[in-house]
Structure 1
Amino acid sequence: MVSNKKRLYIALYPSGVVGNEEQKYHWGFLAGPKIEDEEEVLGMRYHVKNHPLHSWVFEECQVTNVKSTINLLARILIAKVEDEERLTAIFRNTPVVKDDPNWRCRTWVQAVLASIERDGRAVGTSNLSWAEIEPLGREYVGKKAERGRYAVSRIGNMNLPKPTWDMLEHREIVP
């Protein structure tokens, strides 16, 4: 019997910050089923966002299509989910820092990855190394941008599945 464990992805979005390479992308997580055969595949998004009135806030929400959320640039598959409740608890319990001007969404993502690794039971097969994930994500999205993947002329295709790299098998699964 083939396993149908949910998958955990790093999600990269444009941040809106221009001229600062470190802040070029907004980082978060997407979780969804292994099998994505339907046109729309329900999933969850977990991230922190910088709210104008409340500083950084954690957000968890269901998405109607985990393959193509609003503004998503790319997904990086990093883990097979073993215990979704444990994983959700890690997201919810990872601190959101409000009084440090250097704290960012990528700082939170790093902290979540470290917590998942320490926990040892929320995910199974995985690559949780921020030292590998961050440069791979930047390079992957950068190459897609260079090849015109996000060009305005492709706006009509915004609902198509976004580029997805599988870090577990070291291959692209959605171009």
Structure 2
Amino acid sequence: MVSNKKRLYVALYPSGVTNNEERSEVPGVRYHVKNSPFTGWVYEEVPLANVRSTVNLLVRVLIAKVEDEKRLVEIFRNISVVQNDPEWRCRTWLANALDAIKVDGKAVGTSELDWSKIEKVAREYVATKVASGRYERGVDLKLPKPTWDMLAEKEIVP
């Protein structure tokens, strides 16, 4: 039986990491922080028509099944955005969000929320794609991107 639960992904981009939530046709929202030279670090919620094919996305990593989307979004919105700390990055925000999701215990069900494990798997997955030439050829940048399922520990063929 196929589940209709939304999924939470960590998405790796060349300039950093953001996270995406998706459905089957894959409209979704990118929840992330970015560093603007004019305003500093800002939190964003960006609706996307198709989270599987944003142009500069390298890979997605499935990390959780969403149980309560409203609760999850509130967690994201309440994670501190730090200014003027040269050590603070989008990865810091994401690690803090994952910790808050874990403490909450109700926003997601089956999950892998350990940032150190997620980051290691995600970086290794990107490295395998780089080694295979995934980003060198004239691949259509609008095609679905490589996806790793941390819950099943296998690649999901887009």
User: Do they superpose with TM above 0.5?
Assistant: yes
Structure 1: state its 5+ residue gaps: 16-25
Runs of 4+ in structure 1 over 2 Å off: none
1:168 to 148, 151, 156: 151
Q: CA RMSD in A?
A: 1.2
In the alignment, the residues of structure 1 paired with residue 76 and residue 148 of structure 2 have an alpha-carbon distance, to the nearest angstrom, of: 22
Equivalences, count: 158
User: Residue deviations 1:41-60, cap 9 Å, x none?
Assistant: 31110110010111110010
Aligned counterparts, 1:4-153, within 5 A: 4-15=4-15, 26-33=16-23, 35-36=24-25, 41-151=26-136, 153=137
In the alignment, the residues of structure 2 paired with residue 86 and residue 69 of structure 1 have an alpha-carbon distance, to the nearest angstrom, of: 26
TM-score (norm 1): 0.87
> Shift of residue 2 of structure 1?
3.7
Percent of aligned positions that are identical: 59
1:154 to 138, 144, 151: 138
TM-score (norm 2): 0.96
- Which secondary structure does the structure 2 equivalent of 1:30 belong to? strand
> Shift of residue 99 of structure 1?
1.9
> Shift of residue 93 of structure 1?
0.6
- Which secondary structure does the structure 2 equivalent of 1:28 belong to? strand
In the alignment, the residues of structure 1 paired with residue 79 and residue 10 of structure 2 have an alpha-carbon distance, to the nearest angstrom, of: 16
Structure 2: state its 5+ residue gaps: none
In the alignment, the residues of structure 2 paired with residue 2 and residue 149 of structure 1 have an alpha-carbon distance, to the nearest angstrom, of: 30
